[in-house]
Amino acid sequence: MPQNASRAAGRHFLQIPGPTPLPDRVLRAMDTPIIDHRGPEFAKLGKRCLEGIKTIFKTANPVIIYTATGTGAWEAALVNTLSPGDRVLMVETGQFATQWKTMAQKLGLKTEFIPGNWRTGAEPAKIEEHLRKDKAHEIKAVCVLHNETATGCLSPISSIRKAIDAAGHPALFMVDTISSLASTDYRHDEWGVDVTVGGAQKGLMLPPGMSFNAISDKALTAAKTSKLTKSFWAWDEMLTMNKVGFFPYTPATQMLQGLAVSIEMLHEEGLDNVFVRHARFAGATRGGVGGWGLEIIGRPPKFFAPTFTGVLLPDGHDSDAFRSLALDTFNISYGASFGPYAKKYFRIGHLGDINDGWLMGVLASTEMSLGLAGIPHKKGGVQAAMDYIVSAHSSGARAAAE
Amino acid sequence: MPQNASRAAGRHFLQIPGPTPLPDRVLRAMDTPIIDHRGPEFAKLGKRCLEGIKTIFKTANPVIIYTATGTGAWEAALVNTLSPGDRVLMVETGQFATQWKTMAQKLGLKTEFIPGNWRTGAEPAKIEEHLRKDKAHEIKAVCVLHNETATGCLSPISSIRKAIDAAGHPALFMVDTISSLASTDYRHDEWGVDVTVGGAQKGLMLPPGMSFNAISDKALTAAKTSKLTKSFWAWDEMLTMNKVGFFPYTPATQMLQGLAVSIEMLHEEGLDNVFVRHARFAGATRGGVGGWGLEIIGRPPKFFAPTFTGVLLPDGHDSDAFRSLALDTFNISYGASFGPYAKKYFRIGHLGDINDGWLMGVLASTEMSLGLAGIPHKKGGVQAAMDYIVSAHSSGARAAAE
Amino acid sequence: MPQNASRAAGRHFLQIPGPTPLPDRVLRAMDTPIIDHRGPEFAKLGKRCLEGIKTIFKTANPVIIYTATGTGAWEAALVNTLSPGDRVLMVETGQFATQWKTMAQKLGLKTEFIPGNWRTGAEPAKIEEHLRKDKAHEIKAVCVLHNETATGCLSPISSIRKAIDAAGHPALFMVDTISSLASTDYRHDEWGVDVTVGGAQKGLMLPPGMSFNAISDKALTAAKTSKLTKSFWAWDEMLTMNKVGFFPYTPATQMLQGLAVSIEMLHEEGLDNVFVRHARFAGATRGGVGGWGLEIIGRPPKFFAPTFTGVLLPDGHDSDAFRSLALDTFNISYGASFGPYAKKYFRIGHLGDINDGWLMGVLASTEMSLGLAGIPHKKGGVQAAMDYIVSAHSSGARAAAE
Amino acid sequence: MPQNASRAAGRHFLQIPGPTPLPDRVLRAMDTPIIDHRGPEFAKLGKRCLEGIKTIFKTANPVIIYTATGTGAWEAALVNTLSPGDRVLMVETGQFATQWKTMAQKLGLKTEFIPGNWRTGAEPAKIEEHLRKDKAHEIKAVCVLHNETATGCLSPISSIRKAIDAAGHPALFMVDTISSLASTDYRHDEWGVDVTVGGAQKGLMLPPGMSFNAISDKALTAAKTSKLTKSFWAWDEMLTMNKVGFFPYTPATQMLQGLAVSIEMLHEEGLDNVFVRHARFAGATRGGVGGWGLEIIGRPPKFFAPTFTGVLLPDGHDSDAFRSLALDTFNISYGASFGPYAKKYFRIGHLGDINDGWLMGVLASTEMSLGLAGIPHKKGGVQAAMDYIVSAHSSGARAAAE
């Protein structure tokens, strides 16, 4: 914005990989008088949310709703199912996988970490190999991020399930879907996941402050013998109260008002349409990055994230300085960088309640910022992205016509 | 949106030449409990609005605030100053000038209409010539649209003032600024305008439902002898009550809540910055249209509107069909076409609370729609627009640094 | 509020006879992104409003929706049906009847005013008597306020219709329902009214800024020969555009968003339930005033308003000072007083989206203010009101059980 | 509401002891586009909240802000300071004290519970006596509820501090202020509390979903050697990030937007005025209960809660049935009853952003419900409450005048 202005014009482009731009309908649903969390109107709201959220995780089992951000749901997944000293297998996909590992250690678990270079997703073969060595079945859980939020690498959950089965290993399978849920296909039941961790502030188009545990029967059984201490995170009281639409402690009523509406919106669009839309955005963005002649941090393409894209800058260019220039000039926020690649890349979020035109605004702001920042790149990224979108809509129209 | 969806994703691109996308801050200011329009809190609000709106019209005189859309303020300008049978001079810049003329006739005035081709603004020389012939000074008012909202042609108000003076003619000078106010420079006092008509739903970033008459001393004098019947629109009661911050009839309280904030926002950005921003958007859009190899309806460039651009489609292409395709596919609304050029052009609004990235989303949606619609055009419009923006920011930065 | 505070706690009691406390659902419906007033989504909204509003006026004919407050709809009723010099019969029920008369005069009509004492409603017999004398049928319209907003006197519209018929007089019958519509029964068609004037900001629970003309076939016929000048208020263009859900000029889109919801809310409650609720509030309030030993300005009881109650203070007590004390101490606004009774009474609004508990808050604030102001009164008003409410609910329950 | 209606009119009276009626200003502050929780605008918001919340707890030390309801902050207080097997002393004031005790046991602590009858607060003398017996200082913490939310009994925190000191005992002192904070005086530093637990949804006038730990230096020291496992609740990472206005995990951005405004509102009113207002409401409510001839569950008066009042019904009357009738008829929610007194009393919340008139609406709804329910009581409760309020305002005015 101009130096002599105290206000930037127009709508902020919140292109971090979550929270995502909040739809007005969700914000307005939360902007309502608060209701008695023990009264009959709440019971209806509670049931609507508790039933609805199952359709998002694609599970017939209960989903626990926490008033806490995703980090809390990570902790809940662990403390409800495991006991002090249990071994858990995790995969070093990046910053967030590392944080979950650190958390597990703080909680008294013994972690084994399949090393990674922070640029790829989890490899089923490596997990299978690791599990096969654990003949005594001392490993009690395998924990993977569906999408590593630090870099944008999508791991093949269904294949990992098969790898665990191939190893004949009884470990619980826990998956973090915080930056993938409701943006790309995910099937808790069909893919045999035992605990799925989810959050509100990405594909669900809600503010941060709510997170989830979708749980299998096997996980419920494990919970009965789990010895890690727990109270706030305990599933049992939740499950009991949830049956009648209530919660053991005062829930975040306004978040539930928003959740009920966000689930409704996802179904109005159609979950499959939501996934196609996000895939189109991801394809267009990758086309744009290619057009600029820049490199995507995640690789190879089989790991490309559907929800955001990490863009590496040429050597010698600081991505934090770039983000700052873009924010000042074009009112756009990107996600930061982490670990060995800190300051070397930035993340363009392309998830949540956005459309093609908005995405083009994002990519154009990026191309213009590259220009203003003097970062070496080719023009033509936006053009490539537009071509991708036009082509996608043309084939969509053809498919519908045939 | 997909055929099997009942909801379009993302934010609508409201690119008609007004109403413009409402800033959240304005909407939230209007989303407040209503207050007593005869109480002390209201008096503060009333004064804040009545004083603030003067800074937008750049006048030291009172500005009347009507609960009505712009059409009402047109009527008010005429009935407060003129008498049945009075001659008024108007200029055929397009559809809206024609509507104002029709209104004048309905109200019992005799209109003289300098003919036009609906593609240019008003020419000071022609006005001067017309007035010189009126030696008896029977013409009581000259009425011009600062910006013809049907096509986007900006007329040179200051020069028209000089032309009237050069003709030595005492007619009142009335100007409609509905699609220019608060987006491009306008100076009621300095330019010697007697009644300026304005509306809320364009540069002021408010919903429709409020309009204005800025009035000169000469207009106030004329009002004393005006014989057209009036009651709702009468200035006198308004002026009396406004002195203490109140209104003779129940005012649109929530609109005033919004107005107070929109004026505040314009000053936070700085009016001159607001004008520079709109000029940049207009330049970029024209660059885009040129890049597509299409023609702008308004011409020559000296008349180009700063707030929206009318784009002519190649012969044989229906602009209403094009608008419909763009709405269905990209969730974007353009302005319609009028008169002899109906269905031949569409209007891209680039005014109100938008920024560079948003505009690029608009232009990209347009370029992609041209592609999907099979309308002959060159690629490269968005690229040209981006180049324009980058260049504008670069020179801005250079200017600031020097 | 305390002298060292800059904020009064709690919700303001807006007990003027309109605007009324806005329901959150209406405010939130208006707090949405603005849509294209020429697009398909708007057409749906327009039709929903135009059809819905008929059910409120109880008419099968069109209702014109103006972006203007009630005063504008008064003007519209007159200018669309009458010609310069036409005689109109009005009744001096109070301040607002007087203002309508003054407006008619400004518009060039000749008014005849049945005198009144500002404490009673219109008497059918006097109207009949007046009309019988007009053997030449020079009186073209009879204009009455259903409820005089200055004092709260409800006139018997159906009986006045019968009186006009009994006189065999062909004058148009125009009724102002601004402070009665959607709060007490009103039947445009059945009662044979030709033009009904209504406003948004009372029983319709909307902000000010919208008003209505419900029109009979006879009024439509009169419009064809009416000679008063008109443009903004003209029915003809409105009726044409409204057929497809649109408006000739930019309508107040957000007000229409609110209107659609307010009509929906009235039907969810049930119009008859709405009327019963308002009657209960009126009964309780009158019980309260009686309990305090104070006098109601409107009289006799057959004229009592269902929507607000004017309370006379004992001689020597200034009702403006009382209102000011109540506002400062209890955050409550009452309506002011007018004409010969200025400063002698205040008006307690009991209309719109309020319930029994809220009304008791109002009456208790009033009783406590009387105490703090040292105004002679008996305690027991609130008790009498509570007894009234309990009794009303008991008989309602009995009725439902039988 | 009527049986044939699907909508209850008017505003709901949310008179549970929290969440409390949300001020529009707080709701609107939360109804804003979400911002980047790692960007410069957030840093300002974060600092504003982190500094502001200290003024509410009256501490110069840091206050930890959790995205979780109060239960989470209970857990945080314990796991950050204590080690497995540590002994903690708690006082059985009622349901919530019992729940905290149960939580402590789940977390592996050994609890000692000074028995109570669920009708009184904590007695300093008993605590001192208990601590004196612990000559080995094995008790590591004394945990007390400032106000027992189940019944409304306020415990004398300052006196308990003195009792602990008198016993010469080094135990940490932890206090739950969930239903007292920002409604009645509380002084974390001056009263020598080590960990104060607070929540958002009562005196802070926010939705549920946020809770607090105010911490002394002694508590920070204890945290260094605490052995209970913790990750989400750990203070250390929070304190580090908070220094620059950020949070280690995605915080509940919209709750922080609300918090910044609610703190601002409390200071605009003035904290001392807030406390006087709540004391007045409590006095009036007790006057009302006395007027009805009913009994308050908390006793003796020295323990009366300032924020809500538990009202015992005569034997044989079910308070849940009473609450249900009041909800259906008067759109009012009361708090439920617990433990040995379940179904015998109901709680009238009189806290948060309400004013005198609103409270009278509450008490009148209660008196009318007692009537409709056929519960034996005397009329005159509302009258007594009004007398109390008038008297309070009179003496306030006198005091100000002197």
Q: Is the pLDDT of residue A399 over 70?
A: no
Query: Do residues A181 and A73 touch, judged by C-beta distance below 8 A?
Result: no
Is the Cβ–Cβ distance between D64 and D219 less than 8 Å? no
What distance in Å separates the CA atoms of residue A220 and residue C147, rounded to the nearest whole number?
A: 67
**Distance of alpha carbon D24 from alpha carbon C45, whole angstroms:** 27
D188 pLDDT exceeds 80?
Answer: yes
**Residues of chain B contacting C18 with CB distance shorter than 8 Å:** 250
Tell me the sheet residues that pair with C310.
C347
State the residue for tokens 């149960």: D102
Instruction: Specify the pLDDT at position B1.
Output: 84
How does the average pLDDT of chain D come out, rounded? 97
Give how far C21 is from chain A: nearest CA, Å. 14
Subunit partners of chain A (3 or more CB pairs within 8 A):
B, C, D
Residue C33 to residue B21, Cβ atoms within 8 A: yes
- The model carries a pTM of 0.97
H or E, element range at B173: strand B172-176
Per-residue pLDDT at B396: 72
Measuring CA to CA, how many Å separate D125 from each of D120, D139, D164, D300, D305? 14, 17, 9, 16, 20
- In this predicted model, what pLDDT tens digit does every residue of C262-320 receive, in sequence order? 999 999 999 999 999 999 999 999 999 999 999 999 999 999 999 999 999 999 999 99
Please check whether residue A88 is in contact with residue A64, taking contact to mean a CB–CB distance below 8 angstroms.
no
Predicted confidence band of residue C400 (pLDDT cuts 50, 70, 90): low
pLDDT per residue as tens digits for the range A269-314: 999 999 999 999 999 999 999 999 999 999 999 999 999 999 999 9
Which residues fall within 8 angstroms of residue D323, CB to CB, at 6 or more apart?
D333, D334, D336, D346
Tokens 């809770």, residue located: D211
Q: Do A333 and D207 touch (CB under 8 A)?
A: no
Instruction: Report whether pLDDT(B20) > 90.
Output: yes
Cβ atoms B93, B303 nearer than 8 A? no
Residue D399's pLDDT band (boundaries 50, 70, 90)? Answer: low
DSSP assignment of B29-60, as one string? HHSS----TTSHHHHHHHHHHHHHHHHHHT-S
Q: Check whether B62 has a pLDDT greater than 70.
A: yes
- C-beta of residue D328 within 8 angstroms of C-beta of residue D1: yes
* C-alpha to C-alpha distance for B208 and B229, rounded to whole angstroms: 26
Q: From the list A103, A208, A252, which residue is nearest D251 (CB)? A: A208
Give the tokens for residue B3. 């055929």
Give me the residue label for tokens 């409410």: C389
Share of chain D above pLDDT 90, in %: 97
B113-B116-B122-B124 Cα dihedral, nearest 10 degrees: -80
Alpha-carbon span A34 to D352, nearest angstrom:
13
Give the per-residue pLDDT at C384. Answer: 98
Report the candidate in C259, C255, C253 with the shortest Cα–Cα distance to residue C203.
C259
Q: Do D268 and C354 touch (CB under 8 A)?
A: no
| pLDDT for D112 beyond 90 | yes
C-alpha angle B10-B12-B14 in degrees, rounded to nearest 5: 160
For C245-335, strand residue ranges (E) read 295-296, 308-312, 332-334
pLDDT of residue C396: 72
Chain-chain contact of C31 with A28 (C-beta, under 8 angstroms) = yes
- Could A365 and B353 be called an inter-chain contact, meaning their C-beta atoms sit closer than 8 Å? no
The whole-angstrom separation of Cα A358 and Cα A363 is 9
State mean pLDDT over A354-372. Answer: 98
Cβ D343 vs Cβ D337: under 8 Å: yes
Whether residue B114 has pLDDT greater than 90 = yes
**Contact, C325 vs C372, CB < 8 A?**
yes
Give the C-alpha separation, A4 to A8, whole Å: 11
Give the β-pairing of A295-296 and A195-199.
unpaired
Which residues of B fall within a CB distance of 8 Å from A5?
268-270, 273
Over residues D205-227, mean pLDDT: 98
Which of the residues A31, A96, A106 would you substitute to probe the D interface, choosing the one with the greatest number of D C-beta atoms within 10 Å?
A31
Q: Tell me the percentage of chain B whose pLDDT exceeds 70.
A: 99
Burial of A329 (0-12, 13-18, 19+ CB in 10 A): buried
ipTM score here?
0.97
Chain B's closest residue to A395, CA to CA, is: B372
Q: Give how far Cα C292 sits from Cα of C287, C335, C380, C385, Å.
A: 9, 19, 6, 11
Cα(A79)–Cα(A91) distance, integer angstroms: 19
Residue D397 pLDDT > 90, yes or no?
no
The alpha carbon of residue A252 is apart from the nearest alpha carbon of chain C, in Å, by 20
Peptide bond before residue D19 is cis, with ω within 30 degrees of 0: yes
Percent of chain A clearing pLDDT 90 (strictly above): 97
pLDDT in tens, C84-100: 999 999 999 999 999 99
Q: Which chain A residue is nearest to residue C28, measuring alpha carbons?
A: A28
**How many CB atoms neighbour CB B378 within 10 A?**
13
Whether D94 contacts A94, CB under 8 Å: no
- Where are any strands of DSSP class E within A152-287? 153-154, 172-176, 195-199, 211-215
Average pLDDT (C388-395) is 96
Neighbouring C-beta atoms of residue B85, cutoff 10 Å: 12
D22, D27, D28, D34: best mutation site toward chain B, by most B Cβ within 10 Å? D28
| Residue-level pLDDT at A396 | 72
Q: How many residues does chain A have?
A: 402
pLDDT in tens, A10-56: 999 999 999 999 999 999 999 999 999 999 999 999 999 999 999 99
Predicted local confidence at residue D395, as pLDDT: 86
CA angle centred on D179, ends D178 and D185, rounded to 5°: 95
Distance from CA of C24 to the nearest CA of D (A): 9
Q: How many residues does chain D have?
A: 402
* Nearest beta carbon to residue A7 from set B265, B368, B380: B265
Helix (H, G, I), strand (E, B) or coil at D280: helix
CA–CA distance, A133 with A136 (Å, rounded to integer): 9
How many Cβ atoms from other residues are within 10 Å of residue C256's Cβ? 26
DSSP state of B324: H
d(CA C52, CA C48): 6
Longest dimension (CA), chain C: 69
Angle between helices C356-373 and C319-330 (to 10 degrees): 120
Q: What is d(CA C231, CA C237) in angstroms, rounded to the nearest whole number?
A: 9
